[in-house]
Amino acid sequence: MKKSKYFTIISFLSLTLALSGVASAAGELKDANAFYYNGGFKDISVTENMKYYIPSYTWDQFGDYIDDSFSDFSSISGVNFGFEEVSWLEDADLFIVDTDEDGTYDGLPGIMIPCNWSGSTCNKVSYNSRWELAAVFLLPDNMEREDFSSINRHKTVLHEIGHAYALEHQPKGVNSVMVPGKLTITSPTSLDISNLKWKY
């Protein structure tokens, strides 16, 4: 079956999405507090030309949202973000794939798992570490079950790519695409943009 080669990554899942960081008075996480502590790509400059590998069956389902998200991040002025498609997962900084809920995703609509290569296996590493690949798994089963609209799906894609920039979750009620859950934000907000500008 076509998805089997990704199981090496999936098998290293551990769903420990601990919320950390210090909230500001308004509840918003700003600057350093908006990011995984010491987390991000080993080579931060890959964000200038983030190489992505996305299987065609994932493009078929999520390509519009991915395209729109790439365009949103690329068009933020004051940072230099870009994207480039590559033909091999091994060459990618960002991997986006949709997969079946197998009981390990805890009902989430999507998740970003950072990993580092060891031979042909990308091993999950801590969010508070430096990684080689940001692997985004989208879970249509869970989106379906939670009755996600196209806007909710779009938000999920944008949110998971936000994690690839090492942005962590914002508290509920904050105006940010990094708030988890079934929301309708489909572009980075001013808070998200100012945080990205702080780091990049």
* Nearest approach, Cβ of residue 1 and Zn ion (Å): 27
- The CA dihedral of 126, 127, 130, 132, to the nearest 10 degrees, is 90
Strand partners, 40: 130
Q: Residue 171 or 180: which CB sits closer to Zn ion?
A: 180
Furthest-apart CA atoms within the chain: distance in Å: 50
Q: Residue 52 or 105: which CB sits closer to Zn ion?
A: 105
Q: Residue 86 or 125: which CB sits closer to Zn ion?
A: 125
Helix, coil or strand: residue 92: coil
Q: How far apart are CA 160 and CA 112, in angstroms?
A: 6
* Nearest approach, Cβ of residue 152 and Zn ion (Å): 14
* Nearest approach, Cβ of residue 118 and Zn ion (Å): 25
Q: Residue 63 or 180: which CB sits closer to Zn ion?
A: 180
Within positions 161 to 180, which residues make up the interface with Zn ion, using CB under 5 A? 180
Q: Which residue is nearest to Zn ion (CB)?
A: 180
Under 8 Å between Cβ of 21 and 33: yes
Enumerate binding residues for Zn ion (CB under 5 A).
180
